[in-house]
Amino acid sequence: MQFTTVKGFKDILPGEVEIWQSVESTARNLFRSFGFHEIKTPLLERTELFTRGIGEATDIVSKEMYSLTDTRGRSMSLRPEATASVARAYIQNRLYLKNPVQKLFTIGPMFRHERPQKGRFRQFHQIDAELFGDPGPKSDAEIIVLSATLIDALGIKDTVLNINSLGCRECRPEFRERLQRFMQDRSEQLCPDCKRRAEINPLRVFDCKVKRCNEVVSDAPSILDFLCDSCRHHFEAVKDYLGLADVSFTVNPRLVRGLDYYSRTAFEIQTDKLGAQNAIAGGGRYDGLVKLLGGPDHPAIGFAMGVERVVALLQDTETRKPERPDLFIADIGENARKTSFAWLLRLRKQGLWVETDYGSGGLKAKMKKADRLGAARVLIVGDDELESGRAVLRDMDTKDQTEIELGNVVETLLSLILMAS
């Protein structure tokens, strides 16, 4: 029997991994300049953290979690997103005592049992940033600017930033009620899923991909007409800050998010290059979550970007040259194999990528191997060369060959290679 990956899970192979590394290092550098610190939380948490945090009626919690029961009968789940876990860590470790404003980021796999399709996986990765402890519109703008700057720094073009305000505990209930009535009046025209959504969470109908539901939604009431003064001022100020930051955005009153913890600002960065899965990053303010999870009443805002989606966009435009070994040592004969093994280790210690092979084949076979690996140059060394104290260095691009002294071979190779790079 041959084993293959589970449906919706995938291997990330050399060739693609380099793009992942570059995405992660761009993110880490940017997070540093915005003052965010990395945190790593477990992949497995108590199921209740997510049911309470994300919301029992959401698709994520009601049908997409990978849950199991442990030997003591407790329900555990693989994290479907990072926010609830980071908020738990913030509360459990009382991070707020160290600094009233905590800026944290995390990078890692998430799990959702969704129907796999282009850009949608059951194990996927997020780059996630969370800012705890500030209620003001400036931190909303900082998080939105951070996500837009990240997309920009990654070289992703033609994206649209949609923003909305989802109101607060004061003003949302009235809107929800009005929307519910609106949807109930048109229930016959809605898809079966939205019929159910209209009852439990009518805002989610905005997110439906079914054309009929889209038509119904097109003249639904707008949340922006229901915002209380405080939410309206907050949203205006966020927009002002975004204007100051020169970030272009579209106000989209139909933008809702698939998680229940949001209040006020919500946003998404979208592309039309990934088919139905058009969101590259999304986030928003979640002022009630920390308290809901048993912590102090601290406001927060954050976002997460889907790494698979970003990598798919970058793969389409990727022009980077693949990395190649700096040197291949073609060692012919027992003595050369042993002597050059020490050179190889010393050169690697200096950070060079040095390859050799493990067989005792002849020069032709070794040159073929060096060529297949794409080595930039080959050092040819056999027993004769050891005796004469001189060996040949072949440039694999120009085919030029030079003789080098074996006296200080490591230093000579190091300076030649560093000079050329």
Would the CA dihedral through 237, 241, 246, 250 be positive or negative?
Answer: negative
Which range, of 75-83, 156-164, 354-362, 398-406, touches ligand HAM by CB under 6 A? 75-83
Q: What radius of gyration, in Å, describes the C-alpha atoms of the chain?
A: 28
Looking only at the bridges linking them, the beta strands covering 390-395 and 354-355 are: unpaired
Residue selected from 59, 130, 142, 355 as contacting ligand HAM according to rule CB under 6 A: 130
- The pattern of x and - marking residues 240 through 269 that bind ligand HAM according to CB under 6 A reads ------------------xx----------
Strand order in the sheet with 377-382: 354-355, 327-332, 377-382, 390-395, 401-405
128-to-201, 247, 303, 406, 416 alpha-carbon distances in Å: 26, 20, 6, 51, 42
Tell me the closest approach of the beta carbon of residue 90 to ligand HAM, in angstroms.
Answer: 12
Give 268's strand partners: 162, 282
Q: What is the dihedral of CA 259, 260, 266, 269, to 10 degrees?
A: 10
Q: Which is nearer to ligand HAM, 162 or 340 (CB)?
A: 162
Q: Which is nearer to ligand HAM, 127 or 413 (CB)?
A: 127
> Binding to ligand HAM (CB under 6 A): which residues in 306-325?
306, 308-309
Tell me the closest approach of the beta carbon of residue 118 to ligand HAM, in angstroms.
Answer: 10
> Binding to ligand HAM (CB under 6 A): which residues in 289-308?
302-304, 306, 308
279 part of the interface to ligand HAM, by CB under 6 A: yes
User: What type of residue is 68?
Assistant: L
Which range, of 13-21, 166-174, 283-291, 381-389, touches ligand HAM by CB under 6 A? 283-291
31 part of the interface to ligand HAM, by CB under 6 A: no
133 part of the interface to ligand HAM, by CB under 6 A: no
395 part of the interface to ligand HAM, by CB under 6 A: no
202 part of the interface to ligand HAM, by CB under 6 A: no
385 part of the interface to ligand HAM, by CB under 6 A: no
- Nearest CA to 234 out of 255, 256, 265 is that of 265
321-to-154, 324, 348 alpha-carbon distances in Å: 17, 9, 22
Give 303's strand partners: 129, 283
Task: Report yes or no: 100 and 88 within 8 Å, Cβ to Cβ.
Answer: no
Tell me the closest approach of the beta carbon of residue 104 to ligand HAM, in angstroms.
Answer: 10
Distance CA 376, CA 421 (A): 10
Q: Which is nearer to ligand HAM, 241 or 303 (CB)?
A: 303
Q: Which is nearer to ligand HAM, 81 or 385 (CB)?
A: 81
Task: Please tell me the count of residues contacting ligand HAM according to CB under 6 A.
Answer: 27
Residues in contact with ligand HAM by CB under 6 A are 81-83, 112, 114, 119-121, 124, 126, 128, 130, 258-259, 279-284, 286, 302-304, 306, 308-309
